[in-house]
Amino acid sequence: MKFDTPAGTNPIDQLKVIGKPTDRIDGPLKTTGRAPYAYERHDVAPNAAYGYVVGAAIAKGRIKSMDLRDAKAAPGVLAIVTAENAGKLGKGSMNTAKLLGGPDIEHYHQAVAVVVAETFEQARAAAQLVRVDYVRAQGRFDLAEEAKRAPLDGENSGEGSAAPPIDRTGNFEGAFKAAPVTLDATYTTPDHSHAMMEPHATIAAWDGEKVTLWTSNQMIAWGKNEVAKTLGISKENVRLDSPYVGGGFGGKLFLRADALMAALGARAAGRPVKVTLQRPLIANNTTHRPATIQRIRLGATPDGRLTAIAHESTSGDLPGGGPETAVSQTRLLYAGENRLTAMRLAVLDLPEGNAMRAPGEAPGMMALEVAMDEMAEKLGMDPVEFRIVNDTQVDPEKPERKYSQRQLNECLRIGAERFGWARRNPKSGQVRNGRWLVGMGVAAGFRNNLLMKSAARVRLDGRGVVTVETDMTDIGTGSYTILAQTAAEMMGVPLDRVVVRLGDSDMPVSAGSGGQWGANNSTAGVYAACVKLREQVAVKLGFNSADAAFADGEVRSGNRHAKLADAAKGSELVAEDSIEYGDLGKKYQQSTFAGHFVEAAVDSFTGEIRVRRMLAVCAAGRILNPKSARSQVIGGMTMGLGAALMEELAVDKRFGFFVNHDLAGYEVPVHADIPHQEVIFLDEVDPVSSPMKAKGVGELGICGVGGAVANAIYNATGVRVRDYPITLDKHLARLPAIA
């Protein structure tokens, strides 16, 4: 189905199933332990051996020699695979470094061997006996130092955020110099780890020349292609199966070492092999969100109109990698005639930097939205009103290109009213509650809406059961449920008459899960397949498909009606189609918006920070399932709080690795850290987006939250911290006097 004109009225608009707060249909399986995750696929790969990955003990250099004799002689060992005996391997187009290192080492904990044994304990014990002699080379591990000589470098994250190396509109330098009120400030964000609950894990089994990977992966088609390219085999000989993923956040978008090492280990051992990356290797071996150094300059007239906006960011990555696109939202979010954005990329020998929830916008807005608050204070304006005054309904760089929908001002106004913003004291450090200093902060939220081709197959059997098949993944987001809701709405059946099968590369290729594009596009793909199935049903039952209505398990037209199941008596009906987009994405700027509000308290004696309440007001098209959408937003809000207050991969600048590479040392928010969270969705549909009239929302929840937390802390204390995370040591000495 080609979608090249805005959607008119269609069956989704009935909203009998779509739009209802629906429990996740996979919930009972997960809460009872019956949902099969990658490492637990004993049903499909019995008698699997265990692989244990050996990671490089240096960050840069080469392997001089490797002694495997003791490891091979250890109890239970079946095989050991290294770069020397793995055969010729390619490198996936989405991998910055090779997944199997040797003799050259590109980063710390790069996989250099996998030991396969009968039990996990035997594989782990034997792995400790692998003796590697390295020749260490000088590495570059300090972003601040390397930033001094970092060249300009543009990038498209592939997830909706993009910017050229340098981009100009108007004359920024002249406008900034002439502006009556200016701000020039630098902000830093650290490296972040995805810290997903389920580690990277894969079971691999070969059948002749064909390999099947039961793995934890967000993008099945991407993974299939990368496995084939890396192993040097035909795509037809690769199958990926990933029906349940225990969190990914972008860390499982691409092929990682667990999948490759399982495949190599299984081929060497001649039997299925299961591999999970130990937690330290996830931080140092897979991907992370890169640290940034961001400079923001704003110029405005006394009435608060921005006349000059500049946002420059520097980040680092391995050779061949790309920058964190932290300036992308600044090209679109606020009005202003004179604009400059620029990105620089430092070459670092740290582990690979890549996509993490809302790449670009998440760290970029942690800086931009604090700068907006600082500028509002200089102007003597309310921070909410300052943002509203600088609203734009068109792309500031291309004024002829309008937004398909843009209700940012409504998000801010409704949020301010609901949160009690009028009670905020605009003078910082003035509100006390016992020993606590209390403040409120606000930030805008912004994330682009991405359109991607997505296919599905739907079946109707003689019992009236509709089955949906697509390689779409459910990474904890509720894909099973919204796809079932879509099919139920389209075919006029209750939800319990729909079966959804996901995550198998033998199924039609979907958009996959990432960049908050999954829900809108994958449901649109199911919509397209259901349109075809409705046509088949109508023909089979003798109805005019244009007039036929599907409801309550029946097909109706005028005075006639027939049971839906009767269309599939004798043999099931099968329809397959995809949603393909025309140029609406080019004609209109498609984005999602939020207003984030935070109340924080700071202990005036100790500097301890406690966030007390949070509110997000979101405008993101039609909300397909308010219950699961809210879950996604509060998850994003939680990650945003973590980024603001605690998350930081500490870099050992001598040896080039992340020191706190487990969940004991890498702090993430726990239940006790999370206050009352409220989410409001505006009643909005966007006919330009898709037949579903929906957009993504999963990453909007994190965009801007860090800035709102920082602004609340400043309002509470009067101490501005521009270096994340905001820990008590950074403001304790500057807190207001206790008496």
Tens digits of per-residue pLDDT, 369-381?
A: 999 999 999 999 9
Average pLDDT over every residue of 480-492? 98
Average pLDDT over every residue of 294-300? 98
Tell me: the pLDDT tens digits for 594-641?
999 999 999 999 999 999 999 999 999 999 999 999 999 999 999 999
Is 684 a known active-site residue?
A: no
Euclidean distance between CA atoms 618 and 628, whole angstroms? 14
Confidence check: pLDDT of 418 > 70: yes
DSSP state letter for 28: H
Confidence check: pLDDT of 720 > 80: yes
Average pLDDT over every residue of 45-50? 96
Buried b (16+ CB within 10 A) or exposed e, 387-416: bbbbebeebbeeeeebbbbbbbbbbbbbbb
Burial class (CB in 10 A: 0-12, 13-18, 19+), 152: middle
- Report DSSP letters for 228-268, one per residue: HHHHT--GGGEEEE-S--S--TTTTSS--HHHHHHHHHHHH
Residue 208: CB partners within 8 Å, gap ≥ 6?
Answer: none
CB 315 within 8 A of CB 324: yes
Buried b (16+ CB within 10 A) or exposed e, 77-105: bbbbbbbeebeebebbebbbbbbbbbbeb
Tell me: the pLDDT tens digits for 503-561?
999 999 999 999 999 999 999 999 999 999 999 999 999 999 889 999 999 999 999 99
Tell me: the pLDDT tens digits for 677-712?
999 999 999 999 999 999 999 999 999 999 999 999
Euclidean distance between CA atoms 555 and 566, whole angstroms? 10
Tell me what pLDDT residue 155 has.
82
Tell me: the pLDDT tens digits for 312-322?
999 999 999 99
Confidence check: pLDDT of 483 > 90: yes
Tell me whether domains 2-35+451-587 and 44-138+202-285 share a fold: yes
Residue 408: CB partners within 8 Å, gap ≥ 6?
Answer: 387, 391, 444, 446, 593, 595, 619
What number does CATH give the domain 2-35+451-587?
3.30.365.10
Sheet holding 676-681, edge to edge: 432-433, 436-448, 591-603, 609-619, 676-681
Euclidean distance between CA atoms 695 and 212, whole angstroms? 33
Tell me what pLDDT residue 315 has.
98
DSSP state letter for 509: P
- Report DSSP letters for 352-396, one per residue: PB---SSTTHHHHHHHHHHHHHHHHHHHT--HHHHHHHT--SEET
Confidence check: pLDDT of 287 > 80: yes
With tokens 């092929």, the residue in question is 255
Q: Which of 324, 374, 489, 699 is catalytic?
A: 699
Q: What is the mean pLDDT of the chain?
A: 97
Q: What is the helix (H) or strand (E) element at residue 490, kind and residue range?
A: helix 479-491
CB 641 within 8 A of CB 708: no
- Cα torsion angle, 677, 430, 379, 640, sign: negative
Euclidean distance between CA atoms 602 and 428, whole angstroms? 12
Fold classification of 44-138+202-285 is Aldehyde Oxidoreductase; domain 4 (3.30.365)
Euclidean distance between CA atoms 396 and 408, whole angstroms? 15
Confidence check: pLDDT of 159 > 80: no
The tokens describing 169, both together, are 């509109």
CA distances from 236 to 1, 204, 217 (A): 26, 16, 19
Average pLDDT over every residue of 51-64? 98
CB 579 within 8 A of CB 454: yes
Average pLDDT over every residue of 555-576? 96
CB 433 within 8 A of CB 145: no
Upstream peptide bond of 103 is cis (omega within 30 degrees of 0) = yes
DSSP state letter for 288: B
Q: Which of 589, 625, 592 is nearest to 411 (CA)?
A: 592
The tokens describing 613, both together, are 């309440």
CA distances from 376 to 300, 304, 386, 387, 437 (A): 10, 8, 6, 9, 21
Fold classification of 396-449+590-739 is Aldehyde Oxidoreductase; domain 4 (3.30.365)
Residue 76, amino acid: G
Tell me what pLDDT residue 156 has.
80
Tally the C-alpha atoms within 13 A of residue 161's C-alpha that lie toward its C-beta.
Answer: 33
Tell me: the pLDDT tens digits for 635-673?
999 999 999 999 999 999 999 999 999 999 999 999 999
The pair phi, psi for residue 495, each rounded to 5°, is: -60, -30
Tell me what pLDDT residue 738 has.
83
The tokens describing 11, both together, are 């069956």
What does the domain layout of the chain look like in residue ranges?
A: 2-35+451-587, 44-138+202-285, 396-449+590-739
Euclidean distance between CA atoms 337 and 687, whole angstroms? 30
Average pLDDT over every residue of 380-395? 98
The share of the chain scoring above pLDDT 70, in percent, equals 100
Average pLDDT over every residue of 206-230? 98
DSSP state letter for 196: -
The pair phi, psi for residue 132, each rounded to 5°, is: -120, 130
Residue 420, amino acid: G
Tell me what pLDDT residue 739 has.
65
Beta strands of 72-159 (E only): which ranges? 77-82, 104-105, 111-117, 131-136, 155-156
Q: Which of 414, 441, 491 is nearest to 600 (CA)?
A: 441
Confidence check: pLDDT of 454 > 80: yes
Average pLDDT over every residue of 43-49? 94
Determine the length of the chain. 739
